[in-house]
Amino acid sequence: MIPIRSGVRVWLATGHTDMRKGMQGLALLVQEHLKRDPHAGDLYVFRGRSGALIKILWHDGIGMSLYAKRLERGRFVWPSTSGGPVALSLAQMGYMLEGIDWRNPQHTWRPASAG
């Protein structure tokens, strides 16, 4: 479990990113293209061209972390715009990491009656 504070913002880097980049390369993308401070404590999420791999960059105040997740089936839902970063809530990021459409999550089952 990653201990993320409640005030942390999540930013999706729209478009696709070269997934060969490591921490320094992605931090430079945050600074140069997203015009944000990669050391501010926010989460920055990048998606590769295929859509099955994402990387998350996070600075917790002590050091930089890089997390990666690859879906076995399907693709991560990603905004089609390529203008600037898109802000997400931590709950929306949780949906995204599970492969659920974070823009409009649907309950798969809802009880019809109480008894």
Q: What pLDDT score does 79 carry?
A: 82
Q: What pLDDT score does 111 carry?
A: 66
DSSP string, 2-47: ----TT--EEE--S---TT--HHHHHHHHHHTS-S-TTSS-EEEEE
Closest to 27 measured CA to CA, from 15, 18, 36: 36
The pLDDT confidence band at residue 8, using thresholds 50, 70 and 90, is confident
The pLDDT confidence band at residue 94, using thresholds 50, 70 and 90, is confident
Residues 43-91: tens digit of each pLDDT: 999 999 989 999 999 998 899 999 999 988 888 888 877 677 889 988 8
Separation CA 28–CA 34 (nearest Å): 9
Per the model's pLDDT, the better-predicted residue between 109 and 44 turns out to be: 44
Q: Residue 107 above 80 pLDDT?
A: no
Q: Note the pTM of the prediction, 2 decimals.
A: 0.84
Q: What pLDDT score does 78 carry?
A: 86
- What is Dmax (Cα atoms) for the chain? 57
